[in-house]
Amino acid sequence: MSNSHLFLKPGFIKVPLQNGVGRYVCQLQRVVLKFCKNHGSSRGMRDFIESDLVNFAMDNPAVVVYLKPRRHRSAVIKAEYLNGDQQWLGCKNFTKEEILKWLNLLVTQSQYHTGTRIRKLWHTDNPSIQGPWTPFTFRDPKLNLASFPNEELAKPQDSNETNHEALIELFKKQKLDDLEQRRAE
Amino acid sequence: MGTLLRQIIVNCNNLSRLSIQSNLLKNVNSALLPLAVNKRYSNAPTPYEVVDRKSEEKSNQEVINKVNQLVKDEKTLKLFAVVHVAGKQFKITDGDVIVIEGYWPPTVGDKILLEKVLLAGGSDFTFIGRPVVQKGLVRVEATVIEKTVSHTKTHFRKKRRKQYMRINFYRIPHTYLRINRICINGEVNNPPEVRGLETAIF
């Protein structure tokens, strides 16, 4: 069992500066498809290049696509992002659909994310508009003028009688009842 | 309570709930201060009270007018909203980034409107939806800026003394949304005659 998930670096979400404020900018700069012309493990990659690559390149004019054939080594996708991140993705024995899926993921990503666990699903520069809550919000402004020591404020907030007091009350009442009964007799 | 300290406007045609709320506040202030100000909740039923309909309506109208004036005056009004997106609620303002977990069809570069607004407000007023603020009143614009996957999560099951152990790894899709703008269109408590057709495609 791998323990790598236990030691992931926690972090907050990072977004390329102001992306999407005016317009959206694709963060993937170039992608290199490395493959072998003969080996079976590159077959999916070769199929992809033959059938889907042109469409992929047409759909993503912002991304530069390189092809790099090399003998007897497994297929690999290498992606480079605008922030300088490089992502290396082994594609041994992948089908062409799988390769398209991973390529689409790389296109929509903004950086090499693997290895950080995000702690919050929210980032803001203005955490509060109406002001954060303090113990003094929604309190009576009369408290500002109170002079201390103040008997009224020093009392416990729930002035209900305690169980102890209630028991004493009951006991007294019982006594009275007994007295009355005796008198009646 | 008469000042424009924090006015709660219930966004609806009949304003009965608003009157009840203001009455509650009055009662709390008069009866329970200063002893039970800190009381977090109460099990006591709401006391019945004879409400003068005319004066209530008048005070409600005053509040609504004030809010309308605020919205009209300040073009740079800083607004926030609580929106419900893909099963989670987010408190957002302009320029925020939120992450939506799980499968969600919009792709990068898409500009979308978040229409399920549960609450919206500025520094001096708040619209509280019941459960949703009147459609079309608050406009929340957002852009999808990134679609990625989370870190690898481990699903590990083991039963002791039963020779049973399973391990599974998975990553869930994440969609990053940039909130571009939150603004108020139209007037409070003055809904258009025909509603629900703002975003309909014929």
CA–CA min distance B116, chain A (Å): 18
Asked if residue A80 and residue A30 are part of one domain, the reply reads yes
| A112: chain B residues, CB-CB within 8 Å | none
Give yes or no: residues A17 and A103 share one domain: yes
What is the CATH number for A109?
3.40.30.10
Q: Are residues A108 and A156 in the same domain?
A: no
Same domain, A107 and A163: no
B13: pLDDT strictly greater than 50: no
Residue of chain A whose alpha carbon sits nearest to that of B77: A129
Domain stops at, among A68, A103, A118: A118
Mean pLDDT on B157-173: 95
Cα-to-chain-centroid distance, residue B185: 16
The H or E element that residue B80 is part of is strand B80-85
Among B58, B161, B66, B174, which Cα is nearest to B122's? B66
Mean pLDDT by 10 residues, chain A (185 residues): 72 88 92 96 96 95 95 96 94 96 95 88 93 87 87 77 81 88 85
Q: What is the pLDDT of residues B76-86, one digit of tens each?
A: 688 999 999 99
In a domain, A82, yes or no: yes
> If DSSP codes are grouped into helix, strand and coil, which group holds residue B126?
strand
Domain termination residue (choose one: A77, A95, A118): A118
A134 part of a folded domain: no
**Same domain, yes or no: A80 and A155:** no
| B74 touches A: beta carbon within 8 Å | no
**For residues B15 and B75, which has the higher predicted lDDT (pLDDT)?**
B75
CB within 8 Å: B78 and A117: no
What does the alpha-carbon distance between residue A19 and residue B176 come to, in Å, rounded to a whole number? 11
In a domain, A19, yes or no: yes
| Mutant choice from B103, B145, B174 vs A, greatest count of A C-beta within 10 A | B145
Does B6 score more than 50 pLDDT? no
One domain for residues A93 and A166: no
Tell me the ipTM for this assembly.
0.76
Q: Chain A partners of B91 at a C-beta cutoff of 8 Å?
A: 122
Question: Do both A37 and A107 map to the same domain?
Answer: yes
Please report whether residue A31 resides in a domain: yes
Task: Supply the range of the domain harboring residue A161.
Answer: 151-184
Q: Do B151 and A159 count as a contact with CB atoms less than 8 A apart?
A: no
Q: Which residue in chain A is spatially nearest to B108 when comparing CA positions? A: A108
Q: How high is the pLDDT of residue B32?
A: 41
Task: Tell me the pLDDT tens digit for each residue of B27-57.
Answer: 444 344 444 445 566 677 777 888 889 999 9
